[in-house]
Every structure is written in structure tokens, then in C-alpha cells.
Amino acid sequence: VAPGSGIFAVFHAGWRGTANRIVEKGVSKLLEVSGAKAEEVLIAFGPCIRKCCYEVGEEVKRAFAAARQEVSRIFSGPFLDLVEANRRQLFRLEVTRILDSNLCTACRTDVFYSYRRERTPSRIWTIAGFKEPSESPS
Ligand SMILES: [Zn+2]
């Protein structure tokens, strides 16, 4: 969210998007379009699969290395930390106001669907918008 501009953006950043820096590119565009300063922008990470559960293959690690990402900082063995990878992209833009739900969709199948954990066809939706300013009672 670029406060005061009426502009926000939502990104789905799976491993391919994260390797290709979709958040860095998208937030860079948000800064450009909104005119907001990096320190004004507010980021929120929603529920997603986390490093506790996101075991990936060597091809994923190779894709991040090929994209010149800090593999040693975002992988722990075969486990990928997507949030940390995206956080590092934001820091490159000097965006540091970051909220994190800290919710892992694979750990919390009591609340969320997880394709990886359950092979469910059900999906999570993310809906974003601005709240209508409330009118004061007359
Ligand atoms: Zn988990």
C-alpha cells in the first residue's frame, strides 16, 4: 500500500515469481506510479507456505542461483524461505515497513487450504481494497 495515494498492489509470489523478482519489480512500479517514498510504503505478507514446510528440489535452488539471489540466506537445506527471499527484495528497494501474518498454510490446514499438503482442488482467495471512509453521524 502506498498510503495517501489510493494505490495498492497485490502479488502472488510462488517460487518462480520470487526467483524472477516479481515483488521487487512490482513494488518498484508501485513506487513509480504512486510517487510514494520507499519508507512510506506498507507491505503485508499473507498466509503462505513457510520455510518449515516448503521443501523444494535442486532445480528450484538452481533457478534462484541463476537469478543471482542469495541462496545461502533463503534456503535451509532443501527448504525455501519465500518470505525471506521477498523481504530481501523489498530491502533492496529500501522498503522496510513490513507486516507478516506468520501463518503457514501447510501447517494450518485447519484454517487454510494447502495444495502441497492436501492435494486439494480448493484455493485461497486474497481480496484487497480500501475501506470507505465512515461518515460521521449527523
Ligand atoms: Zn509450515
pLDDT averaged over 10-residue windows placed end to end, the chain, 138 residues = 91 96 97 96 95 96 95 97 97 97 92 78 83 71
> 21: CA distance to ligand 1 center in Å?
23
Give the pLDDT of residue 119.
79
> 37: CA distance to ligand 1 center in Å?
34
> 2: CA distance to ligand 1 center in Å?
30
Model confidence pLDDT, tens digit, residues 86-105: 999 999 999 999 999 999 99
Cα separation, 82 vs 104, in Å, equals 11
> 52: CA distance to ligand 1 center in Å?
4
Query: What H or E segment, with its residue span, contains residue 31?
Result: helix 22-34
Give the pLDDT of residue 132.
76
How far does Cα 79 stand from its chain's mean position?
17
> 1: CA distance to ligand 1 center in Å?
27
Is the four-CA dihedral 125, 79, 109, 87 of positive or negative sign?
Answer: negative
Give the pLDDT of residue 80.
98
Reported pTM: 0.88
HEC letters along 27-72? HHHHHHHHCCCHHHCEEEECCECCCCCCECCHHHHHHHHHCCCCHH
Query: What H or E segment, with its residue span, contains residue 4?
Result: none
> 118: CA distance to ligand 1 center in Å?
13
Cα separation, 73 vs 93, in Å, equals 18
Cα separation, 25 vs 18, in Å, equals 10
Residue 128 exposed, middle or buried by CB count within 10 Å (0-12, 13-18, 19+): exposed
> 107: CA distance to ligand 1 center in Å?
4
